[in-house]
Structure 1
Amino acid sequence: MRGMLRARGRKAADEAITKLNGDLEELGLLPASRRLRVAIRARYYISPMAQLTIELPAGLLTVLWLDAIATTWLKGRLWPPLAPFAQVPIEGWKALRSGNFDTASETLTASILAPVVAAVIFLSLWVAPLVVAAATTAGRGLSLSRSTRMATRFRSISLIATAVSQCARAEGAGWRQRPKKHRRVARALARVEDEIMRLHRTSGYVTPLSHRKRHLKDHAGLVVAALRRAEARIDTEGDAALAPLAALLMTIADRIAEGRIGALLDDLPADLTPARDREPLRLAVAAILVAACAVGVAFLPMPEGTDVYVIGGCGIVILAVLYGRRVHQLLDVLNVIRGV
C-alpha cells in the first residue's frame, strides 16, 4: 500500500512538471530548472494515507480540548483534574477563620504551589499535544512528519506553477473568454502573494523569534509590490504582459527552491511601496468572531455536548470567509484562536 501511494505521488509530480514545462513553452520561456523539478517532487511526496493519519489525531485532540474548555468556561463547571487544586485555598481560608492557624499555614503554603502544579498539568496534558498536533498538520517546525514539512515548504512553488498555467491559458484565450481568464490570473496571483508574505513562517529556514524575520517581511512586501506592478501592466499592454509576469514568477520559484527567500528578486525598483501583511489582522478578526460565536452559543438551548461542534463549525465558516480557498491550508489557525 505504501509503495502504491508513493508511486501515485511520483506520477502526480511528473504530470505537474510536464504541465509546467508545457505552459512555459506556450509563453516562450525556458523549461523548469532542475532544482525546481526537485522541489515539485518534494511537494508531492506526502501520501493521502499519511495526511489522514496525521489529521485524525489532531482533530480528536481538538475536540477533546474544546470539550474541556466548554465545560470549564462556558458552563461554569471546573475541569475535574483541576478541582482538587482549586479546593486548597478554600480549605485554608476556612481553617484560618476557625482559628486553626497551624492547619491554615500548611494549607495556604500548599495553595501557593497549587497554581504551578495545575499549570503544569494543563500545559502537559492539553496545550502541548495540541501544539504538536497542529504543527504536524500544518507542516511547521514542530511537525512530527517530514512529509508535511516538505509539503508546506514547497507549497508556494505549487501555487506559482498554477499562476503560470493561468497566464498561459489567458494568453491564448479568445476575446469572449479573456475577461474570465484574466480574473483567474488575478485570483492565482493573490494566492501566490499571500504565500510569499508567509514565507518567513512556512519556509522552515527561520526560527519563530529570529531577528531575520523583519528583513524577510520587508523583502516579501517589496516582491509582492513588484508582482502587482507587473500584473497591472496587463491593463495597458494586454496579453503581451503575461509572459514577463510568468518569467517573474519563475524567478521567484527558483529562488524559493534554492532557499534564497531573502533575495526572491534582484534590482527591485526604488519607488516600490512594500505591500502590507494582513495576516495578523485577519487572525485578530477571526479570533473576535469565534469568541463572539462561543458566547452566543452558550446562551442557546442546545443539547448537552453539541455546543463544541457548533463553535467549531462557526470557526471553519469564519475562516472560509476570511481566507477563501486557502482555508484548507489554514485550519491550524483555528487551533491558535482556540488557545493553542
Structure 2
Amino acid sequence: MEGRAFTHTRRALWETRTTFETAPYGSIAAAYFAMWLGLRGIKLSAVILHDLATALGAKAVARATQYFLQSLRPEVGSQPVHGWDSLIFLIIYSVIVFLPLWWLADLRWARGAVYRYRATTRTTKALHFCAEAYSRPPGKRTSQLRDLESGLRAAENAILRAHRYAGTFPRRSPRSAAVRAHAALVAGALRAESLKIDADPNATLPRLGAMLAVIGERCAEGRIGAMLSEEFLAEATPVSLTRTAIRESVHVIVVVTAAMVAAVGGSSALRALGVNDDLRPWLIAGCSVVAAIVVGGWHRVGRLLELMPGK
C-alpha cells in the first residue's frame, strides 16, 4: 500500500477534529445574530399565518401559531399546549432553533474539513469495522460484519460524491465526467470485493481493508481521479449513481408511505379506543416510527432522521 504512514489520512482526520475550520466562530455568531433578528421580526409573519389559518378554518395551525406568539412573551409558562397543537408547535420551534446549526454543519458555502474529507472519514470508519471483524474468530463476528456492511454502504455513497466534497472544480466542469466514471468503478470494485466476505472472510477482509485504506488516503490527498489503481479495477463493474439514487428514493418513498399508513390507522384505532387527546399525537408518532423501522430497517430510518434539523 502506498502512503506508507498514510500521512494525508491522518492530517484529514486531525483537521476534522479541530474547531478552527469546522466550527467557524464568525459564521456561528452571524447565524445566531440572524436567528435573533428573525425571532424579533417573525412575530409579524406569525400574526399573518395565524389570521390566514383562522380564515381558512385550519384551527390546529391557528392555535399552534397562537402558542408560538405566546412563547415570545415571558408568561409562556402559564400557557398550556395540548394534543396536536403541541406537536405542531414543537416542530415549528425546533426548525427555527436548529436551522442555523444545520446550515453551519452541512450547507454553508465555506466548506469545512468535515465536509471536504467526508469520503476519507467514511472509508476510515469502514476500515475500522473491517479490522474489528477480522480480529474476531470465525463464528463470533456477526455484529462486526453487520456494522461493516453499513460502513461500506456509507463509504460507497461518499465515494460516488467525492467530486462534490473535494470542491476542486465547478459542477459543469469537463473533469467531472471522468472523475464520476472513476468513482463508479471504485464503488463497483468495493462492492464486488464485499460480496466475497461470506465465501472466504479471512482472505477477503484484509484485501477489502487495503482498498479502503488506499481510497481514504488518496481522497485526503486530493487524488479523486485515481482512488484505486488498475489492479483493483481490472474486473470491476461500475456502480450507477443515478440508479443507486433512484433505488434509494424508492425505498424512502416506501418507508414514508408505511409511516403515513400507520399514522392514519393508529389515529383511527386510538380514537376508537378512547385514548386521551394529549397522548394520541405521541402514540401516533410512535406507530409511524415503528412501521418505518419494520418496513425500511433501522439503518434507513436513521439516515432519514439525520436529515432532521439539528442532527
- TM-score class, shorter-chain normalisation, is 0.5 to 0.7
* Residue 173 of structure 1: aligned partner: 136
1:274 and 2:247 are equivalent in the alignment: no
Residue 136 (1) aligns with residue 104 (2)? yes
2:216 matched residue in structure 1:
253
AA of the residue aligned to 1:184 = D
Judge conservation of contact 2:219–2:227 (CA < 8 Å) in 1. yes
* CA deviation vs aligned residue, 1:213-232 (integer Å, no higher than 9, x gap): 44444332221110011112
The match for 2:7 is: 34
Residues 251, 264 of structure 1: 8 Å contact kept: yes
Q: CA deviation at 1:247?
A: 0.7
The residue number in structure 1 matching 2:93 is none
Taking only the aligned residue pairs, the percentage that are identical comes to 26
C-alpha root-mean-square deviation of aligned residues, in Å?
5.4
Is there any run of 5+ residues in structure 2 with no aligned partner, and where?
A: 62-97
How big is the shift at 1:262? 2.7
Assess, with a 3 A threshold, how the Cα gap between structure 1 residues 261 and 192 changes in structure 2: closer, same or farther. Answer: same
TM-score for the superposition, normalised by structure 2:
0.55
Task: Report the alpha carbon displacement of residue 158 of structure 1 after superposing the two structures with TM.
Answer: 2.2
Instruction: Return the alpha-carbon distance in structure 1 between the equivalents of residues 171 and 304 of structure 2.
Output: 18
Q: SS where residue 142 of structure 1 aligns?
A: coil
**RCO higher in 1 or 2 (8 Å CA, sep ≥ 6)?**
2
> Which residue is 1:186 aligned to?
149
**Does 2:165 align with 1:202?**
yes
Q: Contact conserved, 2:188 with 2:236, CA < 8 A, in 1?
A: no
TM-score, length basis structure 1: 0.51
Q: Deviations over 1:162-189 (max 9, x none)?
A: 2222222222312341333322322221
Which amino acid counterpart does residue 277 of structure 1 have in structure 2? T
- 1:10-49 mapped onto 2 (5 Å cutoff): 32-46=5-19
Match of 2:191 in 1: 228
Pairwise CA distance, 1:323 = 8.8
From 150, 160, 164, give the equivalent of 2:113: 150
Whether the aligned pair in 2 keeps the contact of 1:29 and 1:247 (CA below 8 Å) is no
- The SS at the match of 1:233 is coil
Q: What SS does the corresponding residue of 1:234 show, helix, strand or coil?
A: coil
Q: Which has the larger radius of gyration?
A: 1
User: What are the Cα deviations for residues 261-289 of structure 1, in whole angstroms up to 9, with x where unaligned?
Assistant: 23222222255142443255566667878
CA distance in 1, matches of 2:296, 2:172: 26
Cα deviation 1:56-100 (Å, max 9, x = unaligned): 9599979x79976996698669x9xxxxxxxxxxxxxxxxxxxxx
Matched, 1:264 2:227: yes
Q: Is the 8 A contact 1:45 1:151 kept in 2?
A: no
- Cα distance change on mapping 1:270 and 1:164 into 2, 3 Å: closer
Residue 76 to residue 33, structure 1, CA distance change in 2 (3 Å)? same
8 Å CA contact retained: 1:140, 1:152:
no
Structure 2 counterparts to residues 31-110 of structure 1, below 5 A: 32-46=5-19, 50=23
The code of the aligned residue for 2:213 comes to M
CA distance in 1, matches of 2:16, 2:156: 19
